[in-house]
Structure 1
């Protein structure tokens, strides 16, 4: 669309079904690359991605407003689940949990968020996924009900 200019930065967070430890280190990079390809095919630019064993962080520049964020995430979840199952990258059937978190950032925060996403391993050595997610929701002043959060079995 001519004369339409956007600069929107979004971090997406979603979890494996049942918070199962499904994404092993041996397949992590292959899964991340595949998901980046999905974003690229949808004309979005991934700035940072990190597949934890039981959840995923994606920080991207939301450029193509022809696709909504819910449509994009639905596509990413379906296509990546199919890829993981078809390639048998995980033991048993793989799927993502329902829902996701989507958080917007200013351009001035871009480098900080990229570093945050790429340093998930260090971050989770000190803090659980549940603690991290609740802190994000609180920082963004998002009202939530515990029963609608991700399944946090380990806490």
Structure 2
């Protein structure tokens, strides 16, 4: 009986509610590990993750096609929010904004994307999250209306 084979690389980007700087360095590693566990439990493999104070980048190999990307994001946001609030990893109530970006890459770009994500702290010294996100949308030729992007506070 024939099997199904796929190799799809996706980078997800989503932001904290109100774009608050909620993810502090002392809890970043714990949050990233928990999110990786969610992906693993859903049959996905995280290749790189970086939780900035106000947004997260997750690069993963999309293998289990039984779950849609939107359902995966919903699960990740819900379960990680519950975890962060139950463990009191943030001073106030934590939540993610609605919406997300999902960008696909070729296997030949894998190392470049991993390096990009793992160097987020350096990258954001020179570029705002808003500029970065709009660059992604433009590079991937995604039509958008600025009022429907994340809440950006300059």
Q: Please state which band the TM-score falls in when normalised by the shorter chain.
A: over 0.9
Hey, what does 2:94 align to over in structure 1? 94
Unaligned runs of 5+ in 1: none
Query: Could you tell me how far 1:11 is from its partner in structure 2?
Result: 0.1
Deviations 1:26-78 (A, max 9, x none): 00000000000000000000000000000000000000000000000000000
Query: Could you tell me how far 1:125 is from its partner in structure 2?
Result: 0.4
Q: Distance in 2 between matches of 1:2 and 1:151?
A: 46
Q: Distance in 1 between matches of 2:24 and 2:97?
A: 17
Q: Under a length normalisation based on structure 2, what TM-score does the superposition of the two structures give?
A: 0.99
Q: Does 1:111 align with 2:107?
A: no
Q: Under a length normalisation based on structure 1, what TM-score does the superposition of the two structures give?
A: 0.98
Q: Distance in 2 between matches of 1:113 and 1:72?
A: 20
Q: Distance in 2 between matches of 1:95 and 1:125?
A: 24
Q: Distance in 1 between matches of 2:28 and 2:2?
A: 38
* Structure 1 moving runs of 4+ over 3 Å: none
Deviations 1:91-128 (A, max 9, x none): 11000000000000000000000000000000000000
Root-mean-square deviation (Å): 0.9
* 1:15-30 map, 5 Å: 15-30=15-30
How many pairs are equivalent?
Answer: 154
Unaligned runs of 5+ in 2: none
Q: Distance in 1 between matches of 2:92 and 2:120?
A: 25
Q: Distance in 1 between matches of 2:2 and 2:77?
A: 31
Q: Distance in 2 between matches of 1:114 and 1:92?
A: 31
Query: What SS does structure 2 have at the residue aligned with 1:66?
Result: coil
Hey, what does 2:14 align to over in structure 1? 14
